[in-house]
């Protein structure tokens, strides 16, 4: 049986939970209002834009997005319809598929990034000093691996 959380652990946990939830919601709302993109759309565009050849296998993409394979298929199909991404079979593996960023996808990302990063700065970066940001960055890199 695990030890119960202390009062102070619970308090910090809830502060983090409610606040990070509110932050995700605000980022999603402001991004949608400014560009029509969801956070998932934006994140797919960023991951593809930085991948070698601007292409990435569907399974690897699912991992980066924390989506189930069926949810990734739905997400990518929606972006294909909007011309942001296309799907191609893998050169090395005829059974697999890759998502490939289109020119329009790249342009959409370039147009959306300044406003989105202004929200990120205002809502997150500017609220933290360098040391706090480093603590948070390192801690969540560790948490990601659990």
If one asks whether residue 123 binds a second copy (CB under 8 A), the answer comes out as yes
Supply the minimum distance, in Å, between the C-beta of residue 64 and a second copy: 7
What would the two tokens of residue 35 be?
A: 């560009």
Q: How many CB atoms within 10 Å of residue 29? A: 12
Please choose, from the candidates 110, 127, 114, the residue with its C-alpha nearest in 3D space to the C-alpha of residue 22.
Answer: 127
What is the distance between the alpha carbons of residues 79 and 137, in angstroms, rounded to a whole number? 30
- With respect to a second copy, which residue has the nearer C-beta, 90 or 136? 136
Tokens found for residue 125: 């970066």
Span interacting with a second copy, options 2-10, 53-61, 77-85, 100-108, rule CB under 8 A: 2-10
| Residue 146 binding a second copy, by CB under 8 A | yes
**Cβ nearer to a second copy, comparing 88 with 132:** 132
Footprint on residues 78-117 left by a second copy (CB under 8 A): 114, 117
């Amino acid at each position: 049986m695990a030890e119960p959380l202390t009062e102070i652990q619970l308090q910090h946990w809830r502060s983090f939970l409610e606040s990070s939830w509110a932050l995700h919601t605000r980022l999603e709302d402001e991004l949608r209002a400014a560009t029509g993109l969801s956070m998932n759309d934006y994140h797919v565009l960023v991951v593809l834009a930085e991948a070698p050849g601007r292409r990435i296998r569907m399974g690897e993409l699912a991992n980066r997005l924390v989506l189930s394979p069926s949810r990734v298929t739905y997400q990518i199909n929606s972006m294909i319809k909007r011309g942001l991404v296309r799907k191609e079979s893998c050169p090395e593996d005829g059974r697999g598929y890759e998502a490939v960023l289109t020119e329009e996808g790249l342009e959409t990302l370039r147009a959306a990034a300044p406003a989105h990063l202004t929200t990120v700065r205002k809502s997150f970066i500017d609220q933290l000093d360098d040391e706090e940001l480093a603590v948070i960055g390192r801690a969540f890199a560790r948490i990601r691996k659990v």
